[in-house]
Amino acid sequence: MQMLQGNPLLLPHSLQELLAKDTVQVALVPERKGLFLKHVEYEVSSQRFGASVSRRYNDFVVFHDLLLQKFPYRMVPALPPKKMLGGAVRWGGRAPGRPVTALSSADREFIEARRRALKRFINLVARHPPFSEDVVLKLFLSFSGPDVQSKLKESAQGVGDEFMNCKLATRAKDFLPADIQTQFAVSRELIRNIYNSFYKLRDRAERIASRAIDNAADLLMFGKELSALGSDTTPLPSWAALHSSTWGSLKQALKGLSVEFALLADKAAQQGKKEENDVVEKLNLFLDLLQSYKDLCERHEKGVLHKHQRALHKYSLMRRQMSAAVHSQQPEAVQQLESRIVEQESTVQTTELRHAFSLYCLHQETQLVHACLPLTAHLLGAFVDSQIQGHKEMSKVWDDLKPKLHCLFTGPNST
- C-alpha–C-alpha distance, residues 63 and 155, integer Å: 11
Question: What is the set of domains in the chain, with CATH numbers?
Answer: 6-79+106-165 (3.30.1520.10), 212-409 (1.20.1270.60)
- Own/partner long-range contacts of 62-69 (Cβ < 8 Å, ≥24 apart): 62/149, 62/152, 62/153, 63/136, 63/140, 63/152, 64/121, 66/136, 66/152, 66/153, 66/156, 67/125, 67/131, 67/136, 69/156, 69/161
DSSP 13: -
Find the range with the poorest average confidence among 167-176, 248-257, 387-396.
248-257
Stretch 12-23: mean pLDDT = 93
| pLDDT tens digits, one per residue of 176-233 | 999 999 999 999 999 999 999 999 999 999 999 999 999 999 999 999 998 888 887 7
Q: Residues 239-261: pLDDT tens digits?
A: 665 555 677 777 777 887 888 89
Per-residue pLDDT band at 347 (split at 50, 70, 90): confident
Average pLDDT over residues 57-85: 93
- Please determine, for residue 306, whether its predicted confidence score (pLDDT) is greater than 70: yes
Confidence of residue 91 (pLDDT cuts 50, 70, 90): very low
Burial-class residue 283 by CB neighbours within 10 Å (0-12, 13-18, 19+): buried
Percentage above 70 pLDDT, the chain: 87
pTM for this predicted structure: 0.84
Question: Span 155-164, mean pLDDT?
Answer: 92
Ranked by mean pLDDT, the top range of 35-39, 88-92, 359-363, 401-405 is 359-363
Q: What element of type H or E holds 288?
A: helix 281-300
> d(Cα 73, Cα 361) in Å, to the nearest integer?
6
